[in-house]
Structure 1
Amino acid sequence: MDRYLSLFLFLFMTLFAEMRGRRDECMTSNPCSDQGPLIQFPFRLKDQPRHCGYPGFELSCTENNQTMLELPVSVKLLVKNIKYKSREIIVQDPDNCLARQLRNLNFAASPFYFKFELDFTFFINCSSYETLGHGYSPYLYYPIPCLSVPGNSVHAVWSSSPFNLLDLSSCRRLYNSSVPGNRDSGDFMFNGSAFSLKWSKSICRSCPEGGKICRLKKSNSTEPETECIKGVLKKIIVTGAIFGFFLLVLVIVALYRVYKSNKLEREYRINVKKFLQDYEALKPSRYSYSDIKRITNQFKDKLGQGGYGIVYKGKLSDEVFVAVKILNNSQGNGEEFINEVATIGTIHHVNVVRLVGFCADGFKRALIYEYLPNESLEKFIFSKADKNYSLSWKKLQEIAIGISKGIEYLHQGCDQRILHFDIKPHNILLDHNFNPKISDFGLAKLCSKEQSAVSMTVIRGTMGYIAPEVLSRNFGNVSYKSDVYSFGMLLLEMVGGRKNIDVSVESTSQVYFPEWIYNHLDHGEELLIRIEEEEDAKIAKKLAIVGLSCIQWYPVDRPSMKTVVQMLEGEGDKLTMPPNPFASRVPSKTNLSKAGRAFQQELAIISELEQN
C-alpha cells in the first residue's frame, strides 16, 4: 500500500510541476487582473519567452493592473477583450483622447488595422468653430475637445469631404491619419469609447482544431516560424485521466484492504470463538444423559456393538464429531468405565484415541471419544474378499510403527505406566489418513515405572492375544511385556491377513499361523503372502521377524516397545531371526507343534469357561 501511495504522490508532483512549468513559461490566463482578457498565442507578455507569442503581439501590465497594447510608434491602448476566433482585439485609449495618439500611429509596422477605417482624415487647427462653415453638415467635420483650447479648436475633417463647402482660411493642417469608424452609426470613435483592431494573419489556424496550441519555433531563422504542440489542457486532461484512474485504483485498493482487514478481524474473532467452543468440547468433560441423547441425535447413527455396549456417532459442534460408547450396565462393576476415564482422560498422544468426555448419570454410563471415520484395523486386515478395504504393505508398515509408538508412550511416556492388556486389531482405530490410534482401555491397569510385575486376580485380554504369563505364572510375571506379546500377535495377523488362532477349528496344527511363519523364515523360504513387488516382500519379512520377536514365550526374551519401534523403523536386512518361540524352552513341551497346540488348548479351555 505504501508503494502505491508513493507512486501516487510522485505522479501528482510530476503533473503539478509540469502544469506549473507550463503556466510560468507561457501563461494562458489573465495575469494582470481577474477581469483582464485571456492571454494566449499569438499574444504574450513582454516578460515571457519570445516563443510564447508572435512578433508585434506583445502585451504588458500597467501599474493599475490593466492590460496594455503598445503599437508603433509609442501608441498605447488599454485592452478590454481579445476575440481569438474572429482575430479581433477590443481596445480603448487610456486618456480618452485617441486623436492625440493617432498622429504617431504607423500601421505599416503593425499587424493590426482598424475594423472600420476612414482614410485620409485631416486634423485642422481652426481659430473658431464658425470657420468651418457654420450651417453645413456636421458629418463633414468633428470637434476634438481633448485637443482644443479656448480660442483654438481642433477638428477632424473627412478627407473625402467637399472642401469647397468649408472655409479653411483660418485653419492649419496638423497631420493626416486613418481613423476607426463605424459606418452603421457614423460614430468615428472620437468620444473615448472602445473600438476594434483586427489582425489579418492566420497563425497556426489548424492547431486548435487538432487540440493543440501554437507557438514559435526556437530557431535562429530571421522569419518567424510556428509549430503546433500538445496543449497543456490536453496534457492535463490525459494526465488527469491517468491520475484519476490511478487514484480510483488506489481508493479501491484502500477500500479493499480496509474490507479485507475488517473481514480478517471478523474471521479472527469467529475462529477464536469457534476454537474456544471446540476446545471446551474436546477437553474431557462430564455430560448428563440428556446431553448424550442430544449429542447422538437420540441415538440415531449406530456405529457398532459388542459385549461392552453400543457405539453411536455424535456431534459436539458443526465440525467436531465423536463416537459415544454407551456401556452395558449388566456387566462388570464399573471398573471398565473407571479405567477408561482414569487412563486416557489425562493423556494425549497422536497414536492414542482421545477421550472427549464421559457420562455418569445414575446407572447410565457413557464414554465419548474422538470420531475416527475409518473404524478399526480389523476391517482392513481380515476382509480378503473386499479390495476396497485392502492396504498396501507400506501403509501396513506405517500403521505398525504408529501402534508401536503409541504403546511405547503408554509404557514410558506417562507419569504412571499404563498396561493396556487388550492390544488387538479391533482396538486399533484409523483416522481419515489411516493413522492408527489405540482405543478401549477398559482392561488397562496402572503401575509405577519401577514396578517389574503386576498382580492379576482375573485373566485380562482376548483369546489369541493373551500372553502366556497371564495364563500361567510358569512363564514369568505379568508386566508391560504382556502388551509386547499382544502386539507381536497383531503384527503376525497383519502379515497373514488372517487371525492367528481360531479355536473353532478342530485341527489346531493347521491354523496356528505364527508357527507356520517361523518355519518358512527359518528355512529361508519367502512368505509369498499377497506379495506383488520385491519391496513388499521385505516389509512382510520385517513385520514377521519383529512379530516373532515379540511373541517369545518368556517375557524376558521379548524386546521393549522402544526397541520394537527401532526395529520397525530400521533396515529389515539388519534384523536377525529370533529364537524359536515354540521350542523345548516351553515347560514340559518337546515338540514344536505340540507347543502350539498345548497353548491353544489352554486358550480354548478359558474361552469355554468364559462362555459358560
Structure 2
Amino acid sequence: MSPVHGFLLLLLFLKFMPLLLAAGDHGRCPPSFPCGYLGNLTFPFTITGRHHCGFLSIRNCSDDNPHKPKFIQVQANGGWVQVVNIHQLLSSPTTRLTTFQFRDEHFYDLLQNRSCEAFTNNYTLPLKSRFATFRLSYSTSLFLCNKTLHVTTINVSKYNGCPGYDIYHNHIMTDEDVSRSSLTACKKILLPIKDVPDANDPFTFLTGDVTVMLTLTDQCSDCYYRKGGQCQLDSREQFSCANSYEETRKKMWKVATASTMAAAVLVVLMVLVCCFRTKIFYPLLWKENPTHRVIEDILKEQGPLTTARFSYLEVKKMTNSFRNKLGQGGFGSVYKGKLHDGSDVAVKILTVSKGNGEEFINEVVSISRTSHVNIIRLLGFCFDNTHRALIYEFMPNGSLDKFIYEDKNASKNVHQLDWKILNDIAIGIARGLEYLYRGCNTRILHFDIKPHNILLDEDFCPKISDFGLSKVCPRKESMVSIFDARGTAGYIAPEVFSRNFGVVSHKSDVYSYGMMILEMVGRRKNIKTKVDRPSEIYFPHWIYSRLESNSELGLENVRNESEDEMVRKMTIVGLWCIQTHPATRPTISKVVEMLESKVELLEIPPKPFLSDPSTSPVNLSGETL
C-alpha cells in the first residue's frame, strides 16, 4: 500500500470514527422486523431468540402463514397471550407511542358465556415488566349494588341479570356525581370496554380484546433513546443499560488510541505532501454532502422563487446573533429578528432534518406557492452549507395552543379568548385549508394541523404554519400515496395510520381540523396521557353525549344564547370532521359553509368510534372538493 493510500484510509477512519463510537448495540439489532398481520414492529418488541433487542418477545412472526395468530410473552419466562393488533408511532426523537390489543381468553370466555363472574373484581392486566408500565386505554366503572339497596341517582343504566346484586353504570359520571348518590354503598370495579357504554347490558360493551398503552420507564427510555443501549437486568436483577454508547466508546477508544499513535508520523508526512498537491487530494478527501446537492438541485428545478435567499451571516445579523429566542421545538429554535426595512420576522433555525432534507424542501416549496390571509408568509430562507433557516412574518400573539389549554404555569398576560374570536379563528383556519386544496395551482396536504401550528397576528387572525410534513400533488388528484404515518399523535386520521380505513386524501386534514376544533371547544387536549378517571380520556364522546341529549354543554364562559349557538355549531362541525371513514367527513368547503350557517340547520352526526371498527377500505377517487 502506498503512503497516499494509507493516508486516505487513515483520514476516512478518523472521519467516521464518531459514527462507529455512537453506533452502540442498535447496529446489531434491526430497526424493525415484519410480523405478519401485525405489520413492521420496532423496540420494545422483538422476536423469540433475540432477547437483547427488546423485552416483549413475539412468537410466530417468521411463520410462513402471515395470518397465523401471534403471541406475546406477558413477562420473562411467563405465559403467552394472543396479540390482535399493535400500533406504534414515533411522536418525537425520544418518544414512541405504543398501544396494542391482546385477547384475555379467560375474561373473553366469561363474557361469551354471559357469566356474572366477569364482574367479581377489578380487571388486572397480566402484563408485567421491569422496563415499562401498562395501563388500560379504554375502561369504565361499574357499581355492584345489593338488590335490597335503593339507588338514588339519575341517568344511570341498570342491569339486573346477576343474582344477588344489580349493576349500575354511567360512563361520563364524575366522582362528585357518585358522592351525591347512594352508589357509595356499592362495590366499584374497573373493566375494559370496546366502546362507550350506550346500553343497559354490560355484556354488549365489555370486551376480552383488551387495549393497552405501554410507557417505558424513565431508566429504559433514557437508555434506549439517549444512550443507544439495551434495557436489561444484570446478575443481581438490577437495571443495566447494556451496550450503550459509553460502554462501546470505552472499548473502541483503546483501539482508536493505538491506531492514532501508530499513524502519527504518517499523518505529518502526508499533510506536508497535501500542502503541495491540494488540487489533487482535495476532491478525493472531501466529497460534497449528497443531501446538499439534492436540495440545491430541487431548488433549481423550482425556478425563481418568490422568497428571498439569505446567507447564514445575514441570518445571524438579522437576529442580532440569536439574542431573542421565541421558542424551542423538536426541529430546532425560533428567534425574533428584523429585516433591512425594519419589519419584524420570526427566524426558525433547523437543527433536525428528516431523510434527505424533505421537511426543509416541503416548507420552502409549499409556502412559496401560497398567498392567502390565513397562510403564514415565508419571507425568505437560508441554505448555506450545513445551515438551514426559514424566515417568516412575525406573529405577535404566538400560537393558538397557549390560548386554549389550561396551564397553571402560563403567563398572566395570556388571556382566554371569547367565543366570537374562537369562532372566527375556526372559520379562518378552514378558509386557509380550502385555499390549499382549491386556490393553488397544485393541491397541498398539510398533514400536521394542530393548535401549535396555528399562529395568531395582532388581531388574532389565524395563519396556518409549519409545512414540514406537507405533500404537494397535482390538482387532478384527489388521493395521495404516502409510505409513512405522518403527523402528531391525537390528530392523525385513521387512514393515515392504517389503509384499512380508506385512502389518504384532503379528508385526512379535515380529521385533524375536527380534532383541533373540539380542543378549542373543550379548552383541553382530546386525549390525555395521564388522567384521574377513565371518563376524562376522550372528550369528543363526552361532548357528543351532551349534544345528543340536548343537555347543557357545561362549558366555561358561555354567557348568552348567541355564544351557546356558536359553541354548538363548532361542536357539531368538529364531530362531523372526526368520523372514522373519510367518505363520511365533509369536505373543507362544506365545513366553511356549515360554520357560516345557522345551528338549527345542522344535523347531528353519527357518534365517532372510540375504537377502530374493522371495515373495508373506502374508495374516494371520484370525490371532489
Give the TM-score normalised by the residue count of structure 1.
Answer: 0.49
Which structure would you say has the larger Rg? 1
Q: Which has the higher contact order (CA 8 A, sep 6+)?
A: 2
